[in-house]
Amino acid sequence: MQEDQKLKKRIITSVVIVIGFMLLVKTNPIWEREIGGFWNILFYLVIAVFFFWIIIKFIIEIVSIIRNRKRLSLLSFVPIGILSLFWLDVTSNIFWIDLEKLYGDVTFKACYEGTQNQATFKLRGKNRFELHWTGVFFYDEYFTGTYQQVGDTLYLNYKDQKPRRFGDKILMDNKNQQLITISNTANSVKNDVPFYYGYCQGLN
């Protein structure tokens, strides 16, 4: 009876930590944008705690199976089976959950890399855009809105606040593969920085 209670507790613990980890990871596209800021650091720390907890629990379950190999039942393998779902989903996304799609398909990407900060700019479906700027002292902020493209010029209509170093009228310099601010109503154009096309390359 006591062994059954211990097994039940192990199963419940496995379910809780796997669900907790997957819930935070799967909802990352939402809380990273909607909550953001310093809270993102706390979320990532909790994810890290769950991650190492799962690894430790996995090792403990293997040791338990080896020690009790002479009196195993099918239920004895349930905890490690639940923990295995974590590895399968991390590597293969077996549940096909991708909340990033809620924000539309990415049609264009650009990046800025400074010495103490970095930003990614994306155009998405339904004429939406997002600018994700991160930097020192846990700075982490999203700027979103809608856009119109006229020739090689993007007109950005920010939903809320505007960034200090990226404007609302942007030239798409296809020759040099850069985004260049033409007009910035939030700040001087002199302080704006160019973005290069594509993924961030770790240049700084």
* Sign of the four-CA dihedral 186, 189, 193, 199: positive
The answer to whether residue 202 sits within a structural domain is no
**Which pLDDT score, from 0 to 100, does residue 89 have?**
81
The answer to whether residue 191 sits within a structural domain is yes
Separation between Cα atoms, residue 100 and residue 86, nearest integer Å: 20
- In this structure, the answer to whether residues 134 and 90 fall within a common structural domain is no
- Count Cβ atoms within 10 A of the Cβ of residue 110 and give its class: 0-12 exposed, 13-18 middle, 19 or more buried: buried
Query: What's the start-to-end Cα distance of the chain, in Å?
Result: 60
The answer to whether residue 203 sits within a structural domain is no
- In this structure, the answer to whether residues 170 and 152 fall within a common structural domain is yes
Alpha carbon 149 to its chain centroid, in Å, reads 27
**CATH number, domain at 148?**
2.40.128
- The domain total for the chain is 2
pLDDT in tens, the chain (204 residues): 666 788 788 888 999 999 999 899 889 888 888 777 778 888 999 999 999 999 999 999 888 888 887 777 777 888 888 888 877 887 777 777 777 787 778 899 999 988 888 899 999 988 999 999 887 777 788 888 899 999 999 999 988 788 888 888 899 989 899 998 887 665 655 667 888 998 888 776
* Residue 79: CB atoms within 10 Å: 24
**Which pLDDT score, from 0 to 100, does residue 187 have?**
61
The answer to whether residue 204 sits within a structural domain is no
- In this structure, the answer to whether residues 74 and 158 fall within a common structural domain is no
**Which pLDDT score, from 0 to 100, does residue 192 have?**
76
Among 6, 51, 7, which Cα is nearest to 25's? 51
The answer to whether residue 89 sits within a structural domain is yes
- In this structure, the answer to whether residues 188 and 157 fall within a common structural domain is yes
- In this structure, the answer to whether residues 71 and 120 fall within a common structural domain is no
**Which pLDDT score, from 0 to 100, does residue 116 have?**
82
- In this structure, the answer to whether residues 115 and 92 fall within a common structural domain is no
Separation between Cα atoms, residue 148 and residue 138, nearest integer Å: 32
Among 20, 26, 7, 28, which Cα is nearest to 81's? 7
> Which residues are CB-contacts of 176 (< 8 A; sequence separation ≥ 6)?
none
Residue ending a domain, among 100, 119, 153, is 100
* Sign of the four-CA dihedral 203, 143, 156, 186: negative
Residue 44's domain spans which residues? Answer: 2-100
CA distances (Å), 20 to each of 2, 51, 154, 157, 203, in order? 27, 10, 41, 37, 35
